[in-house]
Structure 1
């Protein structure tokens, strides 16, 4: 088995030790699990995280663009009124079947 020495900031080393203890693992066991998950998407947490990790590894993960703002309530209300006007879909289907 390969041995490796890492230089870490003191704060990171402390956080790693605390995280390992919180998970009931030795520092080595926990660090190994974290490093394996970092390179193997199948070891990531949820199914969604696994899919995102696979897409990222393949260079196919699209980063979300800036979020769109929610339209003003009056804009939404006008759109609802316009959407409720016209021939209903069921009427179109019935007419088409004749």
Structure 2
């Protein structure tokens, strides 16, 4: 079994289209840099359908593996927050 984290980034979904005030203004600005949901879905779909699995525990953003040291740090912090002992990297 393999586990991954896929960060799709900021997506243009229209979620805040009817929001008011500062949220609406912020949404309008971030939409200039946001990707469409179809583009954001590419990373998790690629990971789910890959014939050759990527290294388990890796973090991906825009179809590229994020720094493995950051992935280890996130894993260890998450395990400790949950009150668990992190497995050694060779156990993953």
Report the TM-score when normalising by structure 1.
0.21
Q: Identify, as 1 or 2, the structure richer in strand.
A: 2
Question: Max radius of gyration: which structure?
Answer: 1
Relative contact order: is structure 1 or structure 2 higher (C-alpha 8 Å, sep ≥ 6)?
Answer: 2
Q: Identify, as 1 or 2, the structure richer in helix.
A: 1
Report the TM-score when normalising by structure 2.
0.23
